[in-house]
A = this chain, B = another copy of it.
Amino acid sequence: MTVSDHMLQEAVDKLKSSGVRITPQRHAVLEFLLNAETHPTADDIYKALEGKFPNMSVATVYNNLRVFREIGLVRELTYGDSSSRFDCNTSKHYHIICESCGKIVDFHYPSLDEVESLAEQITGFDVSHHRMEVYGVCHECKKDKKQIV
C-alpha cells in the first residue's frame, strides 16, 4: 500500500500529462496492477474488480490495459498459455516460470546490457529493450512429484 501510493500517484500524473482521463474504473485497474504481487491476466483483473464495479465490462479492462501499454506504464507478457499477462513493475527484473503449475516468480539479475549492445552491432537494429524468462519446476511441484512417485 505505502510503496504503491507513491507509484500510483506517479502513474496517475503520467496519465494526466498524456491527456488521459482518470475514471474510477481506470483508476481501479491501475491500482490493482500496481498492488498485484502476481502478473494478472485481463480476466484476473476483471474478476478482481467485479465487486467494486458490478457493471464494468471486460472491454473496459482491455481498453485501459491498451492505454497503459501505449503510454509505457505496463508491459504485456505472452507466455505459452493462451492469455496475455500484464506487469506494472517497470523496474528491471526477470521472471522464472514453473512448467508444472504456471506460477511466475520475479528474480533480480544485473540487466543484460551487453547482450543488447552486441545484438545491435550484429543485426543493425536500434535496440529498445529485451525480455528473458527462465523455465523450470518450482519447489512445491517438486514435492508433489515425489509424493506421486
Query: B-contacting residues of A (Cβ < 8 Å)?
Result: 76, 78-80, 94, 96, 98-99, 105, 107-109, 112, 115-116, 118-120, 122-139, 142
Contacts and interface: CB of A to CB of B under 8 A. Distances in A.
Nearest to A124: B139
| Number of identical monomers bound together in the oligomeric complex | 2
Contact of A96 (B99, B105, B107, B125): B125
Given A78-B80, A80-B76, A112-B112, A99 B128 contact: yes
Nearest to A129: B135
Contacts of A96: 119, 123, 125, 127
A132 B119 CA distance: 12
B115 A109 contact: yes
